[in-house]
Structure 1
Amino acid sequence: MQFENTREFAQKLDEQDFLQSYRKEFLFPKVNDKDVIYFTGNSLGLQPKKAKQFVDEVMNDWASLAVEGHFHANKPWWDYHERLAAPLSKIVGAKPSEITVMNTLTVNLHLLMASFYRPTAKRYKIICEEKAFPSDQYMLQSQVRFHGYDPQDAIVEIKKRKGEHNFRTEDIVKTINEVGEECALILMGGVNYYTGQVFDMKTITAEGHKIGSFVGWDLAHAAGNIKLNLHDWDVDFASWCSYKYMNSGPGNASGCYIHERFHNRKDIPRFEGWWGTEKESRFLMKPTFEPMDNADAWQLSNAPILSLAPYLASLTLFEEVGMDVLVEKRNLIVSYLEFILKEIDAQVDSAFEIITPSNPEERGTQLSVFLHGEGKKIFDYLMDNGVITDWREPNVIRLAPAPFYCSFEDMFNFGQILKQGIKS
């Protein structure tokens, strides 16, 4: 498609956009009495209007039923989390039995590592990408220390080539083969939070299995953003937060995927709690744990219903639309944003550098941009003028035009605000 940097062209794209009506399903903050241009769905998605309705339903059931809401609410609380499994399985490419929702992301990764990081004297190393999201770095460091290893020895970071912003799959595969039989676990982010690069999860998972390692993925920036096929890729486990591209609300519950081959395996340890025991006998208070025959066996405690309600509300929108439609618009709107950035760069005395891969197959919704010579001043100007984006040191602005609620006219307006900010 031949793009144009005009309002008329952007409006034409919006008229052709199947998702245009879904913009009205979300609540926008305002700056100067106007809806903001919202580029931070990669940190916290906008609130779906349905979310309040779903939360109010739980509050009303609590008021009128109290403890009986566990069994007699319109959506009984004791199995509320099960309603999220089917829609989530479509988003991440899994079977519903391989999905559960509990806790928050880093908590879940720690719990999953109890099952999938079991170091031995020979096989104890973990492979991750350099400068992974800090919470993942802290988690991995604390895990290897817990098992008595030195992170400097036990954690192997895959490096980027000098002068390059993104990882090469061949370098990742090379590192996997070099570590070989010493590797107990490969745990990486499916989408790099800083650059927005999408990793070749299928290839990396296969290469990890060849050397006998478990392979897991932190999908915080991938779930609801890119097309995933976790089951077909033979991924061992994964987890993701729900408040970014899936719009479930701040700090909300995390999803987990555990491949079905690990269900009912007695040689796979896990930490256990009563919500993971057989549903039919859960309230018989038996002294012996009888695990659920699915990913729910990793559940520990009562599901946080007030957290799950807005998540379920958002998933109804995903059910209506499907990932294929979201990905199709994502590719187009990110390409248009890339075009706008390059157009503005050519018009002003400045230099932008987009460090996200240009290949749509290697990126999701996010473009990360170096603003050489402009720095924080441009970020502050954008925020003051109704463009909500985020800043990452040393000099990167991340722009994530989430396809559910961002418009092509937003992209045009952003370009005009950006140009004015540079000139001012």
Structure 2
Amino acid sequence: MQRACIWAKIALISVITTGFFLTALWGCDKAIPLFRSVPPYYPELSTLASPGNVIRSVAKEFDFIAHINALGLRGPEIDLEEKKAFRIAVYGSSYTYGWGVNEEDSFVFRLGDALQHAGLSVEMINLGRNGGAPPQYAALAAETIPLLKPDLVIVAVGQGCDLFWTGPPTVSEYLYRMFHRYLPNLTALAHQLTNPVPPAPPAPYIPETEEQLKQMQESNQQFARECYKKLPPAQKDRFNALEETIREVFFSGLYNVGGVLLALQTPDLYANAVDPDRADLHRGKKWLKKYLATIARSAREVDAQTLVISVPFGSYVNRPAWERTRRIGFDTPPDMLTSTAMDDVIESSAQDLPFFSTTKAFRDHIDKPDLFFEYDLHMASEGHRLFAQTIAPWVEAHVRTSMNNLAASPATNK
């Protein structure tokens, strides 16, 4: 009995101490603006590209330039003070970013162009994140939706990786995001103190010389050789069994070696998405559902609707891309080109959110060879064109409905 009382007192003291500490932190956070000017800090945006930069990416199959705005997003500058058009925010991975194509060829730009031609005044914001997955989409949305105040949110979910790379955040990620959410001024002050010298504005873009491009290629070649040396024996054997052409491209310095490395590490990644009985697919569905609901909740806070669109991966919708996926080391059972399991998972995870799939439209062009890059596997310019063309009428209908709702409810928080 006495021991129980001691533990009860310890628990009570711990609760009181924790409460006092958290209250003190909250008070400090609220007091900071009274004594010091601290510019807002957006940790998710800060992990994207350097603001104001111009990035050129050269590979065997493409040579494209990305113009980065002041927020670190690909595309033109965004007026945070005043919206001059119906604003559409598109979240997704490198497929949304438009990896491999120039901005005017990306589906985000093409979709905006189609809506403009339909007589709608819209502003498209590309929030595609290279290497991103649903956990990053949700975190970026939670940070940027209150900032951008979009009128419509589109989440572009990939048919392959997004179904598996969608687990819970790590403890450190969770704590950091909670700290920033509830103590934004302390987070901004900590960032300011640890980065006392603001970055210099980027210099005007000067195209790389042939010598600079050669140096970049040599650096990439060295990186590829180092990656090969670090491969476990079993993966090295699988690499050596690949076609000579694939091995040459890998070491060329003009290829993102991540595609082949992913195939060596998880050869059944894309094949698993068409097996509805897999436990990890059910786990992915559970977390995808949570992340989509989180994004929709953030959107509702600014009176925006959320749409979910399935982004086609070539291995499921295009025979040449399916064959190329096999060539770089992935398992590609034939039913990948007929199954709808990957879309079924995304649609089910969307719950009551409007959902759209372009799988049929792409399979109608199943033998068209130029929809996806041969080695990189991302959508090529023609793939972006078909994707935007297919989703445009559906998105247009939702935009018109949202515009009518806004017109009928002029009192809005935007």
Q: Which has the higher contact order (CA 8 A, sep 6+)?
A: 1
TM > 0.5: no
TM-score relative to the length of structure 2: 0.25
Structure with the largest fraction of helix: 2
Structure with the largest fraction of strand: 1
